[in-house]
């Protein structure tokens, strides 16, 4: 398995500096965002972000998609047409910036939502982009995936911790659809901590991911770590998680 680091990993440096340090530590894959920074931590515009990714010789493993239009996908009265248009634009942006995988937040299971997802996934497939869903409150992720063929699963451990979802159960249930893994411990105020440098034991999760036969990229999505002094130490610690 390969590692990809979320492009803005904190330690009091801006995203430009964060991106520029990765290659020196042997990390050449990143997790980015489409449209805008979903955590509102970066001042980069989308154009600037992907220019810096390219300038630093980095490859994008996956990009997170904002959920601004998510609720409208299930709405049959208003907003649905514009929401579908927005998601299709995210796909086109992914194509333009060589992003192979988009990670979407899930919504509660309804027929209208499944129909919208089918349209988005079909469009993405035509463009050569893969769509994966990650868990969200009140979302029946297993039920949604059972009704769709070209939609996949992204395990996001921080979201699982926050919502009381058993990551090991998710891996066992959805290993055939597991397309991406985002590892984060969850701290106070939903801060994402480096796995094994927070409060939870990640060894069973990593063992389960390997046992499931997953050989893809593992994203490390964190901005804090207990006992790690600076950005260089953070990067070295992140690299050691898969060893």
What is the per-residue pLDDT across 168-198, written as a single tens digit (0 to 9) for each?
Answer: 999 999 999 999 999 999 887 788 999 988 7
Residue range of the domain that includes 178: 2-240
What is the predicted pLDDT for the residue at 136?
A: 94
Cβ atoms 70, 110 nearer than 8 A: no
Residue range 97-115: mean pLDDT, rounded? 97
- Own/partner pairs, 108-114, CB within 8 angstroms, 24+ separation: 108/74, 108/138, 108/139, 108/140, 109/139, 109/140, 109/143, 109/144, 110/74, 112/73, 112/74, 112/75, 112/76, 112/80, 113/73, 113/74, 113/144, 114/144, 114/147, 114/148
Phi, psi of 28 (to 5 degrees): -125, 5
Tens digit of pLDDT for each residue in 122-141?
999 999 999 999 999 999 99
Question: How far is it, in rounded angstroms, from Cα 110 to Cα 106?
Answer: 11
Residue range 74-84: mean pLDDT, rounded? 92
What is the predicted pLDDT for the residue at 177?
A: 97
- Domain harbouring 126, CATH code: 3.20.20.150
Mean pLDDT taken over the chain: 94
What is the predicted pLDDT for the residue at 197?
A: 81
What count of Cα atoms within 13 Å lies in the side-chain half-sphere of residue 34? 30
pLDDT band at residue 34 using 50, 70 and 90 as cut-offs: very high
Residue 1 has pLDDT above 90, yes or no: no
What is the predicted pLDDT for the residue at 96?
A: 98
Share above pLDDT 90 across residues of the chain, in percent, rounded to a whole number: 81
What is the predicted pLDDT for the residue at 152?
A: 98
Residue range 98-121: mean pLDDT, rounded? 97
pLDDT band at residue 229 using 50, 70 and 90 as cut-offs: confident
Q: Looking at the 3D structure of the chain, how many domains does it have?
A: 1
pLDDT band at residue 40 using 50, 70 and 90 as cut-offs: confident
């Amino acid at each position: 398995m390969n590692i990809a680091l979320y492009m803005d990993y904190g330690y009091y440096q801006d995203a430009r500096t964060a991106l520029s340090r990765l290659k020196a530590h042997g990390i050449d894959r990143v997790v980015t965002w489409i449209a805008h920074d979903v955590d509102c931590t970066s001042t980069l515009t989308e154009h600037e972000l992907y220019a810096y990714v390219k300038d630093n010789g980095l490859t994008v493993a996956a990009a997170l998609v904002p959920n601004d239009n998510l609720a409208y996908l299930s709405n049959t009265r208003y907003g649905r047409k514009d929401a579908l248009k927005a998601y299709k634009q995210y796909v086109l942006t992914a194509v333009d910036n060589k992003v192979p995988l988009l990670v979407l937040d899930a919504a509660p299971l309804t027929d209208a939502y499944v129909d919208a997802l089918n349209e988005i996934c079909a469009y993405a497939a035509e463009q050569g982009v893969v769509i994966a869903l990650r868990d969200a409150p009140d979302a029946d992720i297993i039920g949604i995936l059972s009704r769709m063929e070209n939609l996949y699963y992204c395990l996001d451990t921080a979201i699982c911790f926050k919502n009381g979802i058993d990551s090991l159960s998710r891996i066992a249930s959805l290993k055939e659809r597991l397309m991406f893994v985002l590892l984060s411990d969850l701290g106070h105020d939903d801060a994402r901590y480096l796995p094994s440098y927070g409060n939870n034991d990640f060894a069973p999760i990593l063992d389960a991911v390997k046992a499931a036969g997953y050989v893809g990229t593992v994203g490390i999505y964190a901005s804090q770590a207990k006992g790690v002094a600076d950005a260089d130490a953070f990067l070295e610690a992140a690299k050691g998680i898969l060893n």
